Amino acid sequence: MEALNAIFVNKIRFTLCLFGLCLLVASSTMSLAEPQIHKHEFVVQATPVKRLCKTQNSITVNGQLPGPTLEVNNGDTLVVKVTNRAQYNVTIHWHGIRQMRTGWADGPEFVTQCPIRPGGSYTYRFTIQGQEGTLWWHAHSSWLRATVYGALIIHPKQGDSYPFTKPKSETTLLLGEWWNANPIDVLRQATMTGAAPNVSDAYTINGQPGDLYNCSSQDTVIVPIDSGETNLLRVINAALNQPLFFSVANHKLTVVSADASYTKPFTTTVLMLGPGQTTDVLITGDQSPARYYLAASAYFSAQNAAFDNTTTTAILEYKSAPCSPNCKNSSAAKPIMAQLPAFNDTNTASAFTKSFRSPRKVEVPTEIDENLFFTIGLGLNNCPKNFGSQRCQGPNGTRFTASMNNVSFVLPNNISILQAYLQNIPGVFTADFPANPPTKFDYTGNVSRSLWQPMSGTRGYKLKYGSRVQVVLQDTSIVTPENHPIHLHGYDFYILAEGFGNFNAQTDTKKFNLIDPPLRNTVAVPANGWAVIRFVADNPGAWIMHCHLDVHINWGLAMVFLVDNGVGALQSVEQPPVDLPLC
């Protein structure tokens, strides 16, 4: 009888233990599925960096170039404390993050915050909502972005998957630009002289120029692949001033995502990314086991201007290549060269950007509350009377400038626009940015010299919460037409169409894709052409829209949308953090 009782008690214990184990597993699974809070510390500091045979102090984050890659899941929260131990003011922008109601964490200097002064710190707090894919972070102060940048990878929620076959591995490739000089000094010289800044000395992949440059072959980035496997490449154009072509020798690339929005897959041999844009591609190891160059070079659409006409490389290396795993020391190790378009191949660039579609039918705003038309482009300011010739070294003794709708944007310097907007502080900005060009003209033809000198000011355009907005972005041929990567903070937008020449509302609206247009945060407006975007103003705050060629934003190619609060706390900007930097 006692033996039977013992067996019975043991069975109960086993059942309870099994039940408890199930509860533990279920609890663990639930906790994994819940949004996580990721805490990081960024220390901005000068670090000795050797590139192209030369060592110089570069501003980095945590001593790394590129900076740390942040990986989160859709729905997670990031808390990043940034401490400034450099000699320059700094802010960090989380490029492409919607920042719903958290404009204080967006980062552009004097737009949503005052800069973090040397010796100061600020903690960025924000939640990723409904975004998946590849984004990035970078400095948004002066030209610090040249070296202060890194990847921000947003994986699907726990339990969710990619809308394509899961790749065997993933590799992030940050395309960058390198100067054999302090980038801040390069900008200062251009600002002082009024001329165009010196072009970069190299392009980079993950901070390395690659073995086509001097003193660079030893550190060329290697991307391993197995025969037959499919890998995901996350390509980010972090270059300061240059749209770039990207290709992999003898391999096709299947585009599956851009700017953290999934796309209808399409196959190509070349990518074109404007600064700020990201593109995720699948690559399959379907070639003979060997070494193949991944390469990037300039897409340059401006006329009669200098640019960096070099090529950066990394190496796609098959693990079963004859020389693996010591390919660097093998005479059979020379990689196969990638074929890149000519630097001025606008047809290839345009064909690529027009290939993007959303994976399925999307809800594009059809009724429009705000129909805006913005001209974008360069200009020349006449030399001020109190300036000597050394300060007017642009064409014919002028100074370079840039503008939207003939307004060259000027940042405030003693308070942020968001603070002034929410606290009704006068004298910081005006809300009278023009909805249309003050003067209509042949935008892509011969433009009268009377239109080459814009007005300057800190002018924003007010939007009611929830308003449906369409913006026609029209390039101009003032000084030179150029492909402009236009980035809007705080929003993604649908690109309905793009084309060449002057936008014609009567005929070009028939080209609009209202079914499955791509969702992006940066649009490459064609040189001597136009692009049309739409979005719903559902994120209150002050949001800058600017050209992501940093030389152009310094010249004034920007404006700010001032989006009103809606009804209630969930449609209003959150209160500013207690550690928001003071001016």
Give the whole-angstrom CA distance, residue 549 versus residue 141. 13
Residue from 409, 351, 402 nearest 378 by CA = 402
pTM of this structure: 0.94
Give the whole-angstrom CA distance, residue 260 versus residue 355. 17
Tokens of 125: 């707090």
Residue 530's SS3 state is strand
Give the whole-angstrom CA distance, residue 308 versus residue 213. 13
Least trusted range by pLDDT, from 77-91, 261-275, 329-343, 353-367: 329-343
pLDDT per residue as tens digits for the range 238-274: 999 999 999 999 999 999 999 999 999 999 999 999 9
Residue from 69, 93, 98 nearest 82 by CA = 93
Indicate whether 2 pLDDT > 60.
Answer: no
Residue from 246, 249, 254, 304 nearest 275 by CA = 246
> What is the model's pLDDT at position 333?
79
> What is the model's pLDDT at position 331?
58
Main-chain dihedrals φ then ψ at residue 394, nearest 5 degrees:
-75, -175
Task: Give 190's DSSP letter.
Answer: H
What is the pLDDT averaged over residues 56-82?
98
Q: Which amino acid is at 160?
A: D
pLDDT per residue as tens digits for the range 402-459: 999 999 999 999 999 999 999 999 999 999 999 999 999 999 999 999 999 999 999 9
Supply the DSSP string of 8-65, one letter for each residue: HHHHHHHHHHHHHHHHHHHHHHHHHHS--EEEEEEEEEEEEEEETTEEEEEEEETTBS
Domain 370-571 has CATH 2.60.40.420: yes
Mean pLDDT of the chain: 93
Tokens of 293: 């160059």
Give the whole-angstrom CA distance, residue 179 versus residue 200. 5
- CATH homologous superfamily for the domain 164-355: Cupredoxins -  blue copper proteins (2.60.40.420)
**Chain center to CA of 549:** 11
> What is the model's pLDDT at position 373?
98
**Please, where in the chain does CATH 2.60.40.420 lie?**
32-163, 164-355, 370-571
Domain 32-163 has CATH 2.60.40.420: yes
> What is the model's pLDDT at position 4?
41
Percent of the chain with pLDDT over 70: 93
